[in-house]
Amino acid sequence: MSSTHPDEAAQVTARIAPPRSGQVIPVGGAEELDPTASQSILAEFLRLSGGKRAHLAIIPTASGDPAASGEGYCQLFKEMGAQAAEVLEIGQREDANQAAAVELIERATGVFITGGDQARLVSLLVGTLVMEAIRRCNRNGVVVAGTSAGASILSAHMLVPGANPDLRTNDAGPRRGEIEIVIIDQHFSQRGRIGRLLAAFAANPGLLGLGIDEDTAAIIDGSSVLTVMGSGAVTVIDGRNATSDYFQRTPGEMLSIVDSHIFVLGPGRQFDLTTRRPMSLADA
């Protein structure tokens, strides 16, 4: 009877074990930009992306001056110790479907999407090969972060497991409840945006809504646990049991929303996006 050497068994396990997904980090905007601030959100993004070995892809598409914004973040991350930082220039939609753009994403250990015009970001990026590459690379361990408008677009490709484990399968058939989508808003408390997040939430029953304050991040790991970092709060709105009169109202009318759950989480607090429950305060 033959036996497997322990080293060989470890190599087999490494080959068949799926890669761990990289963190997804939506930032509420106005984050600390001091390159010497070792406890800042950007410093944490850099650390998770490999620290001094990090190779970053900066996407400044939303900015009113993409060249200046992209170069500014590249310089900042290099001052913070990144090995390399490159700007992905996307001036028109076809740029985001070029092989060179996809290759830049594929060689990155971290992707950072800047703020600016959210509509521009959606029109130029959503549904392109670059966005597909970002999602694919994130599943394989690449960290993906976005600030302000860049945070909101993360919800365009951010999926979390459904709460019912019996519905999670590996077959090709689509099943209701197998995955769930998160919607994200930023500058949340500073601009009084709970109303617009609730409206989006009412129009999409069952979704999770995240409202992220300025200089605050929701660091979401591969097991869908959210950790709050920064100086503000993350507001989580759970709509699984909520009902509203959204589809009975005309544009401009006030909405009624009942049986929703709202959680407000300060720095260091955690939330399980799968069970839709906060972690114990004693665990934070």
Domain ranges of the chain: 22-148, 158-284
Residues 199-209, mean pLDDT to the nearest whole number: 85
Cα dihedral 221/226/230/232 (nearest 10): 160
Any idea which of 62-71, 157-166, 177-186 has the lowest mean pLDDT?
157-166
**Of residues 12 and 227, more confidently modeled:** 227
In the chain, % of residues over pLDDT 70: 83
**Of residues 3 and 266, more confidently modeled:** 266
For domain 22-148, give the CATH number: 3.40.50.880
pLDDT at 272 exceeding the cut of 70: yes
pLDDT at 218 exceeding the cut of 80: yes
* Residues whose CB is less than 8 angstroms from the CB of residue 23 and which lie 6 or more positions away in sequence, other chains included: 48, 143, 144, 145, 219, 220, 221, 222
Catalytic residues: 148, 187, 214
d(CA 45, CA 38): 11
pLDDT band per the 50, 70, 90 thresholds, residue 164 = low
| DSSP output for 219-250 | EE-TT-EEEEEESS-EEEEE-TT-EE-GGGSP
pLDDT at 157 exceeding the cut of 50: no
* Residues whose CB is less than 8 angstroms from the CB of residue 186 and which lie 6 or more positions away in sequence, other chains included: 26, 27, 28, 29, 115, 147, 148, 149, 151, 152, 193, 211, 212, 214
pTM (predicted TM-score): 0.86
Residues 169-185, mean pLDDT to the nearest whole number: 59
Q: Do domains 22-148 and 158-284 have the same CATH topology?
A: yes
Predicted pLDDT at 20: 81
Predicted pLDDT at 17: 52
Residues 43-47, mean pLDDT to the nearest whole number: 98
pLDDT at 176 exceeding the cut of 50: no
Residues 193-203, mean pLDDT to the nearest whole number: 89
For domain 158-284, give the CATH number: 3.40.50.880
How many other β-carbons are positioned within 10 Å of the β-carbon of residue 71?
15
Strand partners, 192: none
pLDDT band per the 50, 70, 90 thresholds, residue 178 = very low
* Residues whose CB is less than 8 angstroms from the CB of residue 182 and which lie 6 or more positions away in sequence, other chains included: 155, 158, 159, 160, 207, 208, 209, 210, 273
pLDDT at 126 exceeding the cut of 70: yes
